[in-house]
Amino acid sequence: MNTAHKYNKLKIFLDFLLLIAAFAAAYFIKRGHLNVEGIYIRFLPLYFFCWLISSLLTGKLKNPVNNEESGYMTRLEPFFSSALLLVGLLSLFIYGLNWYTLSRFIVFGSLGIYLLLEVLVLSGNFLSLFRPRSGSQPAKKRFSVTFFLLDSLLITASFFVVHFVKMDTFKLQENYQETLLLIYFLWIFTSMIVHRFQVPAEKNYFKMIYPFLKSNFIVLSIASLFIFGFRTGFSRLLVFGSIGVYACIEILVISIHYLYELRKKIDIPDIKFFEVPEFSLHGDQVVEEVVEKEKEEYKKISIKKENFYSTIVREKLKNTYLTKFPRVFTFIDQTVDLDTIDILKAEVIDTGNPYNVEILPDQSLEFFMNLHTLNNYRRVNRYLIEVNRKIKHQGIFAGKFEPCEKRHVYFLKNYPRLLANVLYFFDFTWKRVFPKLPLLKRIYFVMTRGKDRVFSMAEALGRLYFCGFEIVSLEIVDNLVYFIAQKIKEPENDTNPSYGLLFKQKRLGKNRKIIHIYKIRTMHPYSEYIHQYIYMRNKLDEKGKIKDDFRITAWGKVFRKLFIDEIPMVFNWMKGDLKLVGVRPLSETFFNTYPEDLQNERIRYKPGLIPPYYADMPNSIDEVLTSERQYLKRYAKHPIRTNFAYFFKAIKNILFHHARSS
């Protein structure tokens, strides 16, 4: 096993002993005895806590990488960084707790002694000072002038914004010039230590922002050191306010940079200027794959009747309604046994006027086709529900829609690439963003009256299932998706189907009770209604996730990697639907794929916010099931001890081993 990045337990124990020895030495020098009392009893836990945090953040107690090739100063660097962080962190807490009665000699003296002992004992062999270095040195990362200039602009702007809030003017007061110089000094000093001016190229989001968080934390800590240690008269609002505003804006900028570069590490279409990444399977390839999958599941449907046979419907479709669309006729003829359909119970129209559907008798049609695209209906669900009402059970519904996955292809085929990207950007913003925002939605529908709307493939199919239809077959003709569906049930009675950013999912809780789990949307609207459809066709991958799930958006993959989508589940925990640690709440579809014995064990307890697979990190669905069985078995015997152990192991894996939900 490669232990290059593992923590050395001997180092941790020895370093802790050095910390105690340093405090004892400083306390004895100052007081002349070791009878620790008063405020120092409360100070010691804080002292140990800050040591632990600074050691973990700097990684100084890990086994060194390429120890033989690294120089002595290179191995010293994490120890000095940790000491600097420890000093600042202690100062920050002391300042916040108003423990000004603490002796600065004991506090800072113990830290100085500790650093000296640590360097002598733990930093490495002194002979390495004189040992010639062998092997190639790691290449230095490129200094980014752009990042430097942007950072300097941000820190300056943040200071003057806070100055304006405090003084109601941007004109710098003379007595605050020293404050600005202090902030500049701390910013440059810490940035050079943590290499913040290098272009971040990490694939992991936390690793990318870590140097920036670390630098801002050190700046804040040293600022506290100046205020506590030297009793300076710096304005706390200006110092801490400027650092806080600057840190928030900087993290936002870095996050945007990370999202832009995300295409290099997760499967997202190449992002170009004015081009919007929409899907996880390379644009219109999503549509192609779904349609091809349907062809693999080819079946021909018919209206079952005894002693009935007529070619009238086929002749009408071929020679009248679809004479200009031979590919569409072939698609329908291959999928539907048209000779079993009574012409008196068939209707073919091409209209966007709902009235032409409403006037038809209820439960009267065996076959209904509308050549008008779904995208041009103001109220799509109302139209589909009306169609459902007119068709008999197992009746056939044929239609078409334009998926947004094909929109970019349309622009690229008809315009030069640069212009096509510009037009697609505005088309995406107008037709995909505006209709989903409460205020802008009104403007959009007033101006367009709902015409030429844009649906994703998942949303269009989800709306059909929501309104009581089941997809039989799909075909692509001229960038339009033609569908053949059967009426299998009445429309869903959900008066508010999911469409916004925040939504709730039906999940099985304790004793199979239905609970509603709140999450931030990472899938296209109406995706939950085609869950069974996707599962039956794509099945599960080795980790228990649906294969090639085209319902997940590009930003949804980012949200899942960063656990952003699961934040609202904290509300379920507060309500009591979930416990902190436990098996993940499942949909009924997934739950029914589990072995019966595990189903029975699962429903005995509440599901949890943090599932056991974050602690065990399984690599296959079988290992996931094993992980849950082991957790449930241990939980039945020792609930508190088990949850405690799994919680801290899961947090460790999330922070240091990149455990993710997808």
Give the integer Cα–Cα distance in Å for 82 and 200.
22
Whether residues 41 and 162 share a domain: the answer is no
Whether residues 178 and 80 share a domain: the answer is no
pLDDT tens-digit series, residues 424-436: 888 888 877 777 7
- The pLDDT-based confidence of 275 (bands split at 50, 70, 90) is very low
Q: Is residue 427 part of a domain?
A: no
Which residue did the predictor score with more confidence, 613 or 599?
A: 599
Boundaries of domain holding 97? 9-129
Cβ atoms 549, 541 nearer than 8 A: no
pLDDT value for 632: 92
Contacts of 215 (CB under 8 A, 6+ apart): 190, 191, 193, 194, 196
- The pLDDT-based confidence of 554 (bands split at 50, 70, 90) is confident
Q: Is residue 218 part of a domain?
A: yes
Whether residues 97 and 163 share a domain: the answer is no
Residue with tokens 């469409």: 499
**Residue 166: pLDDT over 70:** yes
Q: Is residue 509 part of a domain?
A: yes
Give the integer Cα–Cα distance in Å for 71 and 64.
11
Last residue of a domain, one of 70, 99, 129: 129
DSSP designation for 551: T
DSSP designation for 199: P
Give the integer Cα–Cα distance in Å for 256 and 261.
9
Which residue did the predictor score with more confidence, 230 or 606?
A: 606
Q: Is 200 helix (H, G, I), strand (E, B) or coil?
A: coil
**Residue 261: pLDDT over 90:** no
Q: Is residue 466 part of a domain?
A: no
* SS3 labels along 304-344: CCCCCCCCHHHHHHHHHHCCCCHHHHHHHHHHECHHHCCHH
| DSSP codes, 211-272 | HHHHHHHHHHHHHHHHHHHS-----HHHHHHHHHHHHHHHHHHHHHHHHHHGGGTSS-PPP-
Whether residues 621 and 527 share a domain: the answer is yes
Percent of the chain with pLDDT over 90: 17
**Residue 276: pLDDT over 60:** no
pLDDT value for 283: 57
112 closest CA partner among 152, 79, 70: 79
Give the integer Cα–Cα distance in Å for 529 and 488.
14
Q: Is residue 648 part of a domain?
A: yes
661 closest CA partner among 556, 588, 527, 535: 556
Burial state string for 152-175 with b = 16 or more CB within 10 A and e = fewer than 16: eebbbebbebbbeeeeeeeeeeee
pLDDT value for 271: 35
Whether residues 87 and 152 share a domain: the answer is no
**Residue 294: pLDDT over 50:** yes
Q: Quote the mean pLDDT of the chain.
A: 77
Whether residues 197 and 100 share a domain: the answer is no
pLDDT value for 391: 94
- The pLDDT-based confidence of 268 (bands split at 50, 70, 90) is very low
pLDDT value for 75: 65
Whether residues 539 and 640 share a domain: the answer is yes
CA–CA distances in Å: residue 256 to residues 85, 244, 260: 28, 19, 6
pLDDT tens-digit series, residues 109-162: 788 788 777 776 655 443 333 344 444 444 445 556 667 677 778 878 888 888
Q: Is residue 644 part of a domain?
A: yes
Give the integer Cα–Cα distance in Å for 391 and 367.
7
DSSP designation for 175: G
Tokens read off for 575? 């309500």
Q: What φ, ψ does residue 489 adopt, rounded to 5°?
A: -165, 175
Last residue of a domain, one of 264, 290, 325: 264
- The pLDDT-based confidence of 203 (bands split at 50, 70, 90) is low
Tokens read off for 582? 């436990």
Which residue did the predictor score with more confidence, 33 or 174?
A: 33
Least confident of 234-243, 329-338, 400-409, 522-531: 234-243
Is-above-0.85 flag for pTM? no
DSSP designation for 373: -
pLDDT value for 388: 94
Which one of 253-257, 291-295, 463-467 scores highest in mean pLDDT? 463-467
- The pLDDT-based confidence of 2 (bands split at 50, 70, 90) is very low
**Residue 6: pLDDT over 70:** no
Give the integer Cα–Cα distance in Å for 148 and 150.
5
How many C-alpha atoms does 262 have within 13 Å on its Cβ side? 24
pLDDT tens-digit series, residues 385-432: 999 999 999 999 999 998 887 777 778 887 777 778 888 888 888 877
- The number of distinct structural domains making up the chain is 3
How many C-alpha atoms does 87 have within 13 Å on its Cβ side? 24
pLDDT tens-digit series, residues 556-597: 887 887 778 888 888 888 888 899 999 989 888 788 888 999
**Residue 451: pLDDT over 80:** no
Tokens read off for 6? 């593992």
Q: Is residue 527 part of a domain?
A: yes
Q: Taking the mean position of all CA atoms in its chain, how far away is CA 256? A: 14
C-alpha angle 631-637-639 in degrees, rounded to nearest 5: 70
Q: Is residue 39 part of a domain?
A: yes
Whether residues 181 and 56 share a domain: the answer is no
CA–CA distances in Å: residue 82 to residues 262, 266, 313, 334: 31, 34, 81, 71
**Residue 328: pLDDT over 90:** yes
**Residue 167: pLDDT over 70:** yes
**Residue 466: pLDDT over 60:** yes
pLDDT value for 397: 95
Contacts of 156 (CB under 8 A, 6+ apart): none
Task: Read off the pLDDT of each residue in 483-504 and give the average, rounded to a whole number.
Answer: 80
Contacts of 191 (CB under 8 A, 6+ apart): 151, 197, 215
**Residue 241: pLDDT over 90:** no
Give the integer Cα–Cα distance in Å for 234 and 227.
7
Whether residues 150 and 122 share a domain: the answer is no
Whether residues 43 and 122 share a domain: the answer is yes
Task: Read off the pLDDT of each residue in 356-380 and give the average, rounded to a whole number.
Answer: 90
Q: In terms of DSSP H, where are the helices of 320-437?
A: 326-335, 355-358, 380-390, 407-414, 417-428
Give, to the nearest 10 degrees, the angle between helix 205-229 and helix 177-193: 140
Tokens read off for 507? 């999940």
pLDDT value for 58: 74
Last residue of a domain, one of 98, 129, 160: 129
Whether residues 17 and 123 share a domain: the answer is yes
Cβ atoms 238, 176 nearer than 8 A: yes
pLDDT tens-digit series, residues 80-99: 777 777 877 787 787 777 78
Q: Is 404 helix (H, G, I), strand (E, B) or coil?
A: helix
Which residue did the predictor score with more confidence, 363 or 55?
A: 363
Tokens read off for 590? 């997934």
Least confident of 275-289, 383-397, 445-459: 275-289
The four Cα atoms 576, 579, 583, 589 give a dihedral, to 10 degrees, of 10
pLDDT value for 469: 94
Number of helices followed by number of strands (H, E) in the chain: 25, 9
CA terminus-to-terminus distance, the chain: 26
Q: Is the dihedral of CA 24, 26, 27, 28 positive or negative?
A: positive
- The pLDDT-based confidence of 545 (bands split at 50, 70, 90) is confident
Whether residues 580 and 615 share a domain: the answer is yes
pLDDT value for 206: 65
